[in-house]
A = this chain, B = another copy of it.
Amino acid sequence: MTALKKPKSRIGEVNVERILDAALGVFARHGYSGARIDQIAEAAEMSKPNLLYYFRNKEELYRAVLRRTLDMWLGPLRELDPAKDPREALGNYIECKLSYSRTHPMASRLFAIEIMQGAQHLSEVLSTELAQLVEAKKATIRRWIEEKRLADIDPYHLLFAIWATTQHYADFAAQIQSLTGKDLSDEAFFAATKRSVTTIMLDGLVRHP
């Protein structure tokens, strides 16, 4: 009878996907309160009441969008491989995060806006899932440092620096576009960005004699 959250029919599933895709775009662009349901409905090529047949209300839709993009958001960090050389492992991680900023800039901005506005819908996730994951990776980073293969840096700040520099190209794309005329969808700009970010993070800016 009710198709909410667990649509049984094929057509229902397709519609839910269409709605979630459309909602990601509108929420990332306008924030939660700025987003309009009929705007999302229009983007999903659907009437507003029809959309509200699948999602009880705006809040439920917003949470669903966050949840759906969450795994993708947490994914790259899980891959950080303790067995590898730190240079290679961190290089991979940076490349992975940067690719994510290129292919999913709206997801990045969605989370960024949510966190900047207090992370009210994410605080649960941050203090459980992400905290656990970060705790595990801290151990990896500490080992590299003990083995003298990495500078003596607090693992938190290392992770923050990588997150900040890589996500910046998605989150602040408007500013970067305004200054350079380009964004990560430009193949050459993406390659140059990858090279620069990797060099800065791993080798640092100042030449050592």
Contact = CB atoms under 8 A, between A and B. Distances in A.
Dominant SS among interface residues on chain A: helix
Contacts of A161: 165, 168, 196-197, 200-201
A204 B202 contact: yes
A134 B134 CA distance: 35
A29 interface: yes
A201 B205 contact: yes
13 contacts: A31-B33, A87-B206, A109-B116, A115-B174, A116-B171, A130-B179, A149-B207, A153-B199, A153-B200, A158-B196, A160-B165, A164-B172, A203-B208
Interface residues of A, number: 62
Contacts of A70: none
Nearest to A108: B116
Interface in A118-140: 118-119, 123, 126-127, 130-131, 134
Given A151-B199, A156-B180, A164-B172, 10 more contacts: A112-B112, A115-B171, A116-B171, A149-B207, A153-B196, A154-B196, A157-B197, A160-B168, A164-B168, A203-B204
